[in-house]
Amino acid sequence: MEICLTLTLLSSVVMTITADVNVRLVNGGSRCAGRVEVLHDGQWGTVCEDDWDMADAAVVCRELDCGDAVQVLHTSHFGSGSGQIWMDDVSCNGSESTLKNCSSRGWGVHDCNLNTNAGVICSNLSVRLVSGDNRCAGRVEVLQGGQWIMMCGRVWDLTDAAVVCRELGCGKPLGIAHFGPASGPIWTAQMHCNGSESTLKNCRLSGSSVQHCGHHQDAGVICSILNVRLVNGDSRCSGRVEVLHDGQWGTVCGDGWDLTDASVVCSEMGCGDAVQVLNGAHFGRGSGQIWTNGVDCSGSESTLKICTSSVSDCDHDKDVGVICSNVNVRLVNGSSACSGRLEILHGRQWGTVCDFSWDLIDAAAVCRELDCGEPVQALHDAYFGQGSGPIWLDYVRCKGSESSLKNCVANEWGVHYCSHIRDAGVICSDGLNYGWSRLVAGSHLCSGRVEMYFGGRWGTVCDAAFDDQDAEVVCREMNCGVPVQLLGADAFGEGEGPVWTQDIQCRGNESHINLCPQFFKSSSKNNCSHENDVGVICSGGVSIFDFLLQMNE
């Protein structure tokens, strides 16, 4: 074995090693992530974390043909090794083809223990997740022939997602999702994974292809990461903070813990924003190790384990807890948490949604995600005021069954063609604390059967109890201009539920129907039936052609 020695007669010996050695990554869920181990003298041993940085990690990733270095990890993040600690104070310039060409203190010369093993996560260059909030969530892209190719979501399931999460060292799949359309080629061959494969490229390909798959169906994955959890709370998004280290779950000391630190935990778990920090073992005392003391995060970290920490005296009476918002959307400037301007959380920043193509089907996903009942109105043109900051989504197209707005098809994050004057709004049924109106069954948003919400129910309005002034208020409330025509005798079909009567006596200048003098005296005890349901055509959104058509019907 050829060894070239470079000696510096100071406090230590610096040795440049040119021997033929091997390197591997252990315990990281894939061959491109894990604890760094090197082979020397026929025996595998670890590398000390002292001075271990991205330049050193880059050499390991290159040597393993695993692409670029994504993350450097310390304190035996992937568990403690055994046997020899072969290398310490490794210093690479980043261009070496093998770790053996980097300088170190010499084989077996170190001042470390097995709790200070170095770790690496490489990009793997066979699969990646793009456009998510962290490296373990996003659109699935596979490297083939030197080009990144998207996967078709039409035949994508949790079994396939499990392989991707394992390959990236990201735990288990929490769900499949859509992270916006990409550009470029789409993998059309049907892939069949059994879920146990170590890499997506080991899954079986069938001879048939997926037909008619577009980028609006690009597959996406949300993985669990499995480095942090919340215990003893009301849901998976609240509880005592515990982190996984060396194969063992342990708690976090509350000394110095704040909302910035908590925000990293909530984001890592896909639980939205941090709402509250609770110290003093609020969710009960943990047991075993207290892994982390004096945590200090900047708020931009993808995982709690890369935040800095310091040593402090602590016991389980100081175990910290967190409550996360558990939502990635919110409604702002409305009368309650269930009505207002729609804002969505992405990259730890709240932004708005453009109203192009925004409708009740899209609003349904928001109301469902917020547990706010059914959608009542999908509002346009910054009805609840203009927002600020980024416009995250444009041209949203939900199917109606999504549990979260982020699962709907839309343009890619931040790609839009509008300004804040087009911010979308939503009113959900649980946000109706008092009267409201809507137009139903028309050919567009600004025409239809008049329905009003009163006493916890939607009902229609008798045509004998509704006049031009009342119509002015309905059109204004919906941001639909002025009334063009009143239509009685169920011109837009018969509604359901009560038929409200009593002249509500609007003056015509009110902003909402519930502000009209007699609104709260309305009654359903009358001789009107749904054959008398009144309808309105407002000027907003009505073309001359549409108006003439409706006049002639």
- Residue 117 pLDDT greater than 70, yes or no: yes
Residues 6+ apart with CB under 8 A from 89: 12, 14, 48, 50, 51, 104, 105
Average pLDDT of span 63-90: 82
Q: Would strands 43-47 and 33-40 be described as parallel, antiparallel, or unpaired? A: antiparallel
* % residues pLDDT > 90 (the chain): 11
**Greater pLDDT, 300 or 138:** 138
Average pLDDT of span 18-32: 70
> What pLDDT sits at residue 521?
52
- Residue 447 pLDDT greater than 70, yes or no: yes
Sign of CA dihedral 382, 387, 388, 393: negative
Residue 54 has φ and ψ, to the nearest 5°, of -65, -30
> What pLDDT sits at residue 146?
60
> What pLDDT sits at residue 431?
59
Rg (CA), the chain: 30
Burial of 395-410, coded b for 16+ CB within 10 Å and e otherwise, reads bbebeeebebbbbbbb
> What pLDDT sits at residue 451?
86
Give tens-digit pLDDT for 310-343: 766 788 998 999 988 766 788 888 767 788 899 9
**Greater pLDDT, 519 or 553:** 519
**Greater pLDDT, 275 or 362:** 362
> What pLDDT sits at residue 384?
87
Give tens-digit pLDDT for 156-213: 888 888 888 877 767 777 667 777 777 778 876 677 888 878 778 778 876 556 666 7
Nearest alpha carbon to residue 345 among 365, 325, 372, 362: 325
Pair 477, 379: CB distance under 8 Å = no
> What pLDDT sits at residue 332?
87
For tokens 């903070």, the residue is: 241
Residue 458 is encoded by which pair of tokens? 């939607």
Residue 328 is encoded by which pair of tokens? 């990635």
Residue 207: CB atoms within 10 Å = 6
Nearest alpha carbon to residue 400 among 425, 370, 375, 377: 375
> What pLDDT sits at residue 378?
87
> What pLDDT sits at residue 247?
62
Helix (H, G, I), strand (E, B) or coil at 232: strand
- Residue 45 pLDDT greater than 80, yes or no: yes
> What pLDDT sits at residue 48?
92
Separation of alpha carbons 106 and 109, rounded Å = 5
Amino acid (1-letter code) at residue 377: Q
Terminal C-alpha separation, the chain: 94
> What pLDDT sits at residue 5?
34
Report residue 516's pLDDT band, with 50, 70 and 90 as the boundaries. Answer: confident
Q: Where are the alpha helices (DSSP H) in 214-370?
A: 259-268, 360-369
Q: Which residues pair with 457 in a beta bridge?
A: 454
Residue 134 is encoded by which pair of tokens? 């962290």
Report residue 553's pLDDT band, with 50, 70 and 90 as the boundaries. Answer: very low
Give tens-digit pLDDT for 456-507: 677 888 888 788 888 998 888 777 888 888 887 778 888 888 887 656 778 8
> What pLDDT sits at residue 523?
54
- Residue 253 pLDDT greater than 70, yes or no: yes
Nearest alpha carbon to residue 405 among 177, 158, 215: 177
Write down the pTM of the prediction.
Answer: 0.38
Give tens-digit pLDDT for 375-395: 877 888 898 889 988 999 999
Separation of alpha carbons 133 and 136, rounded Å = 8
Measured torsion, CA atoms of residues 253, 258, 260, 265, in degrees rounded to the nearest 10: 40
What domains can be seen in the chain, in order of their start residue?
15-122 (3.10.250.10), 127-223 (3.10.250.10), 249-324 (3.10.250.10), 329-431 (3.10.250.10), 436-552 (3.10.250.10)
- The full length of the chain comes to 553
List Cα–Cα distances, 550 to 334, 397, 446, 480, 529, in angstroms: 33, 28, 13, 17, 23
Phi-psi region of 251 (alpha: psi -120 to 50; beta: other; left: phi over 0): beta
Report residue 244's pLDDT band, with 50, 70 and 90 as the boundaries. Answer: confident
Q: Which residues pair with 300 in a beta bridge?
A: none
Mean pLDDT of the chain: 78
Nearest alpha carbon to residue 139 among 104, 187, 94, 171: 187
> What pLDDT sits at residue 419?
92
> What pLDDT sits at residue 207?
55
